[in-house]
Amino acid sequence: MSPGAETADWEIRRERAEDGPCIEILTEAGFGPGRYAKSAYRLREGVKAVADLGFVAVENGILRGSVRFWPIKVGQDQALLLGPLAVESSQRGRGIGISLMKAGIAAARDAGWHAILLVGDEPYYSRVGFVRLTSSELRFPGPVDASRLLGLALSDGALETLRGPVARARIDEPNCADGAPLG
């Protein structure tokens, strides 16, 4: 955290159904409408986030940040896609983003997931252990800057064994399912 950053008066808790509208507003503010054009978004289209892996940061009843995880398939393996992760712009630099990710990663490990992928800035996500994915045998759908394709192993060697196309794990909402291929 930056020198002089405020103390943490927020708490991290699991996302509840009633958080949905606020999370939408946060995500819209953090990423804008351009998010729909991103390759990672294609993997979420028509698919529900993994229940019990969504976390929010709340301070005095106000939602400050959120993180969600989506199920994906990499070849024949199941994995998670981290994101969106968004923190209210006026509250950044307080450690909220890192705390949200740590809560989600711990819950994912407890739930038996083996690997998490994401598309994002390595200098930030490396703070919670993400590394650049270098395998040429892993094929992400759509255009992705390879230097932003990151992974975190939750069990020994889980990233090394991932190979094949990255695809949606399933479709939950067929009406809006015009996204990436299915695994």
- Residues lying near ligand COA in the complex (CB under 6 A) are found at 1-2, 30-31, 85-87, 92-98, 120-121, 123-124
Query: CA dihedral defined by 129, 135, 139, 145, rounded to 10 degrees?
Result: 60
Report the nearest approach of ligand COA to the CB of residue 31 (Å).
Answer: 6
Cβ proximity of 57 and 88 under 8 Å: no
Report the nearest approach of ligand COA to the CB of residue 129 (Å).
Answer: 14
How far apart CA 42 and CA 32 sit, in angstroms, is 16
Residue closer to ligand COA by CB (options 93, 181) is 93
Cβ proximity of 113 and 78 under 8 Å: yes
How does strand 164-168 pair with strand 138-139? parallel
Residue closer to ligand COA by CB (options 4, 112) is 4
Longest dimension (CA), the chain: 48
Residue closer to ligand COA by CB (options 94, 183) is 94
State the CB neighbour count (10 A cutoff) for residue 174: 8
Residue closer to ligand COA by CB (options 113, 125) is 125
**For 143, how many CA atoms within 13 A lie in the half-sphere containing its CB?**
1
Residue with CB nearest ligand COA?
97
Report the nearest approach of ligand COA to the CB of residue 15 (Å).
Answer: 16
Report the nearest approach of ligand COA to the CB of residue 166 (Å).
Answer: 18
Report the nearest approach of ligand COA to the CB of residue 6 (Å).
Answer: 11
